[in-house]
Amino acid sequence: MKLTTKGRYAVTAMLDLAIHASDKPISLADISERQVISLSYLEQLFSKLRRQGLVQSVRGPGGGYRLSRDAESIFVAQVIDAVNEAVDATGCGGSEDCQAGNMCLTHHLWTDLSNQIHFFLSGISLADLMSQGEAHEHQDAQRQIDKTNATEFLNFVSE
């Protein structure tokens, strides 16, 4: 059982958006650069996230995306569900034809596990993830990189 790249990238991008939230929208290019996720892949994911009401898009120069509501009210399971991802522990994808067209002996066990995982992820908000030390350390490191890049650019321009 595993969560595919689609779900992982969607959660990562949404957390990045939450961490870097400000008055101005965040561009997908910025998220792509920070998280090393293909821009075209992010565009596909954010189209789904927007349709599900998790993000708002802002068009025009300086446009981008912002969370549609507070990070406290956006949960990891909602993000995964929005990109049509399922965390499924069954070997049959829930179709109950695990063993030569028949349900295997442990099908209900794996279905229950899948439900427990979804329930668990339904209780973790983006704000919860942000409050963890790693998210703050990452944000601080990113700010330092941004400052260093800005300083280097200004030094280059002033030469």
Asked if 1 contacts 87 with a C-beta cutoff of 8 angstroms, the reply is yes
Q: Is residue 136 part of a domain?
A: yes
Neighbours of 85 (CB within 10 A): 21
Q: Along the 159 residues of the chain, how does pLDDT read in single tens digits?
A: 567 889 999 999 999 999 998 888 999 999 999 999 999 999 999 999 999 999 999 998 888 999 999 999 999 999 999 998 878 888 887 788 888 888 888 899 989 998 999 999 999 999 999 998 655 565 555 555 555 555 554 444 444
The two structure tokens encoding residue 118: 């979804």
| Structural domain for 63, as ranges | 5-85+125-158
Q: Is residue 28 part of a domain?
A: yes
Domain count, the chain: 1
Q: Is residue 92 part of a domain?
A: no
Q: Is residue 107 part of a domain?
A: no
- Start-to-end Cα distance in the chain: 55
How many angstroms separate the CA atoms of 154 and 122, rounded? Answer: 45
Between the CA of residue 107 and those of 24, 90, 91, 98, 101, what are the distances in Å?
48, 6, 8, 8, 13
Residue type, 25: P
Q: Quick one: pLDDT at residue 157?
A: 43
Q: Is residue 68 part of a domain?
A: yes
Q: Is residue 100 part of a domain?
A: no
CATH code of the domain containing 36: 1.10.10.10
Supply the pTM of this predicted model.
Answer: 0.78
| 8-state DSSP, 73 | G
The two structure tokens encoding residue 72: 């406290």
Q: Is residue 61 part of a domain?
A: yes
